[in-house]
Amino acid sequence: MAKIKTVFVCQECGYASPKWMGKCPGCGSWNSMVEEIEDRDKDRNPVLNIETTRPLTIDEIEITDEERYTTCMEELDRVLGGGIVRGSLILVGGDPGIGKSTLLLQVSKNISSTGKTVLYISGEESAKQIKIRAERLKVAAQKLFIVSETNLSIIEKYISDISPHVVIIDSVQTVYRPELQSAPGSVSQVREATSSIMRIAKNLNTSVFIVGHVTKEGSIAGPRVLEHMVDTVLYFEGERHHAYRIIRAVKNRFGSTNEIGIFEMKGTGLEEVKNPSEMLLSGRPEGVPGSVVVSSLEGTRPMLVEIQALVSATSFGMPRRMATGIDYNRVVLLMAVLEKRVGMQLQTFDAYVNVAGGLKLDEPACDLGIACSIASSFRNIPIDPKTVVIGEVGLTGEIRGVNFIEKRILEAQKLGFSKCVVPKENLKGIEIPEGIQISPVENIYEALDEVLGG
C-alpha cells in the first residue's frame, strides 16, 4: 500500500504547500493553513455507469419510507423525528458532565435489547470505566460491544468486522488519523475523522452517533463544516446543578427541528419526563407578586412555565437589568413599553426576570407574561395563581395573536387552570373548552386590568 501523503491547504484561498506556514503566500491570511490528505488518485478518470449516474426527472425518482430504529425513549424518538434512521450520522453536543455518555449508554442498552448489534467506541474512558457506569445504570446486553480506541484506522476495522446496526463514538475530538501530523482535536483531524465516519455510515447503512465537545460560547468545538456534514445535530442542555436535562435538535434532515425532549437525571440514569408542565410548576409559590404562568410551545408540545420577576428600588445611578432564561434585550424592550405606554416609572428600579426550571424561552408568545410579572412586582399585587397569560406585545402596546392557541388553552385546562388571558385576535374560529374562562385583550392596558385589577 502506497504511503499516504499530506499537504497543507489554505482555508481562505486554497493555496497548497508541502509544509505548514503561519502566513499564506497566496492571500496573506494568518493561521489558515490546515493539514489535509493528498489524493493521488484524483487525476484518474473513473469508469462511470451511465445508467445510474444520469440525471433523473423528479417524477422518475422513487422514494421509500426510511427504516428507523426505536431508542425505546419517547422523548428522544420525538426529537429524532420518530427514531434513528438507518445510515444516518448524528452529532450530539453538550457541556462536560451534562450526561451525554450516560444517555448514549442507555440508548445502546435499549437498542441492543431489541436484538440489534451496537458498537460503543470510547476515546476518553477505558472499557472498565464504561463497565462501572453500565453496572450503575443496570446495563446488561449480549449484543453491546465496548472498545476503547482512538485510531481511526483500527476503528474502521472494528466496524467492518462486527457490522453493527448502530455505532457510538465518544468523542470525535479524540479520534485521529495516524497519517496526519496534527494533534487529535485539530481542525484537520476532526474533519478527516467525520468524513471517514460518514462514508462508513452511508456505505454500510449503519447509524452512527458521534459526541462533540462544546466551546465556552456553547457551540460545538471544531470546524463549522462538522455540523454541515452530519444529518442531525442534537444539543444536550441543562444546568449541571439541576436535575433536569433538555435535548434539542438544531438540525435534522429526517424530522422537525422544533421538538425537544426533557429528562431527569437520577442515580440510575436519565428518566423521561412525561408531563413537563407539571414538573416545571411543582413548588410554585401562590399569592406572591411577580409570579405568572405562561404557555410556551416547543415544537408540537405546549408547556406551562412560571416566569418570576423582582423589581426593587436601586441605590445607584444606573439601574440593573438581569434576565435568566429569556433574552435580555427582550426584557429591556418590554420594560420600555411599560414605561411609555402604561406610565410605570421603572427607570429608578432594578429588574430581575427568571424562568423557573432552567428552561430557555425564545418565542414571542411569552411577552405578555414577562410584562405582567414585571408590573405585578412593581405594583406589589399578586396575580391569580390559576391564571395563564399568553400573547405577543408590540411596541405600541398592542397584543398580537400567537399560533396554536387551542393547544395552549387545552394544556392549561388539563392542569387545572381556570382562566386564560389571550389575544383577542386568536378567538376567531376556535372552540373554547368548557371549564376555563377566556379573557380576550387587545392591548397592554386591558391585559394589566385583567390580571392586576387596574
Task: Provide the β-strand partners of residue 296.
Answer: 303
Is 128 annotated as contributing to ligand binding?
no
369 assigned ligand-binding residue: no
Contact 171, 155 (CB under 8 A): no
Is residue 327 packed enough to be buried (19+ CB in 10 Å), middle (13-18) or exposed (0-12)? middle
| Residue 290 labeled ligand binder | no
Annotated binding residue 407: no
Give the whole-angstrom CA distance, residue 220 versus residue 257. 17
Cα–Cα distance, 448 to 75 (Å, whole number)? 37
Q: For residue 1, what are the contacts with CB-CB under 8 A and spacing of at least 6?
A: none
CA distance linking residue 29 with residue 339, whole number of Å:
49
User: What 3-state class would DSSP assign to 54?
Assistant: coil
Residue 362 assigned to a binding site: no
Strand-pairing partners, residue 407, are none
CA separation for the pair 134, 126 (Å, rounded): 12
Q: Cα angle vertex 394, ends 391, 395, to 5°?
A: 150
Is 101 annotated in some ligand binding site?
yes
φ, ψ (nearest 5 deg) of residue 187: -60, -45
16 forms beta bridges with: 9
C-alpha cell belonging to residue 403: 399560533
Within 10 A of 271 (CB to CB), how many other CB atoms are there?
14
Do the annotations mark residue 65 as ligand-binding? no
Q: Where are the beta strands (DSSP E) in 267-404?
A: 269-272, 291-298, 301-313, 321-324, 349-355, 387-389, 392-393, 399-400
Nearest to 123 by CA among 212, 223, 214, 237: 212
For residue 1, the one-letter residue type is M
Q: Which of 373, 393, 389, 370 shows the shortest CA–CA distance to 381? A: 373
Tally of CB atoms within 10 A around 238: 21
Contact 367, 393 (CB under 8 A): yes
Report the candidate in 352, 339, 340, 341 with the shortest Cα–Cα distance to residue 312: 352
Q: Is 98 annotated as a binding residue?
A: yes
- In whole angstroms, what is the distance from residue 374 CA to residue 370 CA? 6
Binding residues for ATP: 94-101
Binding residues: 94-101
